[in-house]
């Protein structure tokens, strides 16, 4: 079956507001555009860009997402302390170095002090490997084989569509053998839940950021000596479809 990638992104005054994507058969393109438009147009925008591309290669099929583990903390400091300990165990980086990187995400990790347009990549020596420190790398071309079923399952457990998207994205990341862990906070000032992923689980941490903070971002921790072009190619180009959620 021919599959298409459908991507929509909204911006205002030249600034990215939000984006979403689906992988879908030809017959459903129209429906998917309407769904994504409905979702994006809730926010004030002056431009929406729609991109439709046929998939040039067959998607990689993943059986399940990472297992979802939901954790609540007294405040964002406690949640970050916990996240730092897990990252330390996974990467061997010092807690100080990890805290420094996380602080950068909370204060705008792009060289101009704004949010990066994608994720930061950090190796086990603490070196940043992105080709461009404002852009970073963006994970795309990932979706669920049967999205309606997945959303139903997640909603039964009180999770939202936002969790579905984040879970798909990070599950794709963890499929790459050289990516060890991911740290993420949203750039929405009122969305305080963030996550930490490892090969074992998707830890959903609330609250991981301070209310009112407009800064957000992602850190992908990778092995030393990785082929950076291969990582970019996999994250930006390899289509992935996930069959089920592990909740």
Q: Which residues bind ligand COA (CB under 6 A)?
A: 7, 9, 16, 19-21, 49, 51, 117, 135, 138, 140, 142-143, 165, 168-169
In the complex with ligand AMP, the residue whose CB is nearer, 24 or 193, is: 193
Helix (H) or strand (E) holding 106: helix 95-107
* Binding site partner of 207, from ligand COA, ligand AMP, none, Cβ cut-off 5-8 A by kind: none
The verdict on 106 binding ligand AMP (CB under 6 A) reads no
CA pair distance 141, 201, nearest whole angstrom: 21
Could you tell me the strand order of the sheet in which 60-72 lies?
A: 120-122, 217-222, 179-185, 194-198, 202-206, 60-72, 240-246, 142-144
Q: How far is the CB of 222 from ligand COA (least distance, A)?
A: 19
CA dihedral 164, 167, 172, 175 (to 10 degrees): -140
Closer of 84 and 116 to ligand COA (Cβ): 116
3-state secondary structure of 149: helix
CA-based nearest residue to 24, from 155, 147, 163, 140: 147
Q: At closest approach, how far in Å is the CB of 11 from ligand AMP? A: 13
Measured from the CB atom, is 115 or 171 closer to ligand AMP? 115
* Least distance between ligand AMP and beta carbon 116 (Å): 4
Return the range that interacts with ligand AMP (CB under 6 A); candidates 47-55, 61-69, 111-119, 127-135: 111-119
Please report whether residue 171 would count as binding ligand AMP according to CB under 6 A.
no
Q: Give the DSSP letter of residue 128.
A: B
Which of ligand AMP, ligand COA, none interacts with 186 (beta carbon under 5 to 8 A by kind)? Answer: ligand AMP
Q: Which stretch binds ligand AMP (CB under 6 A): 59-67, 80-88, 199-207, 213-221?
A: 213-221
Of 136, 88, 102, residue with least CA distance to 209 = 102
C-alpha distances out from residue 44 to 12, 13, 105, 157, Å: 7, 11, 25, 30
Least gap, CB of 207 to ligand COA (angstroms) = 21
Q: Does 138 bind ligand AMP (CB under 6 A)?
A: yes
Instruction: Reply yes or no: is the peptide bond before residue 108 cis, omega within 30 of 0.
Output: no
Decide if 216 contacts 115 (C-beta within 8 A): yes
Closest CB to ligand COA among 69 and 145? 145
Q: Which does 231 bind (CB under 5 to 8 A by kind): ligand AMP, ligand COA, none?
A: none
Question: Using CB under 6 A as the criterion, which residues of the chain lie in contact with ligand AMP when the complex forms?
Answer: 115-116, 118-119, 138-140, 186-188, 216-218
């Amino acid at each position: 079956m021919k599959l298409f990638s459908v991507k929509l992104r909204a911006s205002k005054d030249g600034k990215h507001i939000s984006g979403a994507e689906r992988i879908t058969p030809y017959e459903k393109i129209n429906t998917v555009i309407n769904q994504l438009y409905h979702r994006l147009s809730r926010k004030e925008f002056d431009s929406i860009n729609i991109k439709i591309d046929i998939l040039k290669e067959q998607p990689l099929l993943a059986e399940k997402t990472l297992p979802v583990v939901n954790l609540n903390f007294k405040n964002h400091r406690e949640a970050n302390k916990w996240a730092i300990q897990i990252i330390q165990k996974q990467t061997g980086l010092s807690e100080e170095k990890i805290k420094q990187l996380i602080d950068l995400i909370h204060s705008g990790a792009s060289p101009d002090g704004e949010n990066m347009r994608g994720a930061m990549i950090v190796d086990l020596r603490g070196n940043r490997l992105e080709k461009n420190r404002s852009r970073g790398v963006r994970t795309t071309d990932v979706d669920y084989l049967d999205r309606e079923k997945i959303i139903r399952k997640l909603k039964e457990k009180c999770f939202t569509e936002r969790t579905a998207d984040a879970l798909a994205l990070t599950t794709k990341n963890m499929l790459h053998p050289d990516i060890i862990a991911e740290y993420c906070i949203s750039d929405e000032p009122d969305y305080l839940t963030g996550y930490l992923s490892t090969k074992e689980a998707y830890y959903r941490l609330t609250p991981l950021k301070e209310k009112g903070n407009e800064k957000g971002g992602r850190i992908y921790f990778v092995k030393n000596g990785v082929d950076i072009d291969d990582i970019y190619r996999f994250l930006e180009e390899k289509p992935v479809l996930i069959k089920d959620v592990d909740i």
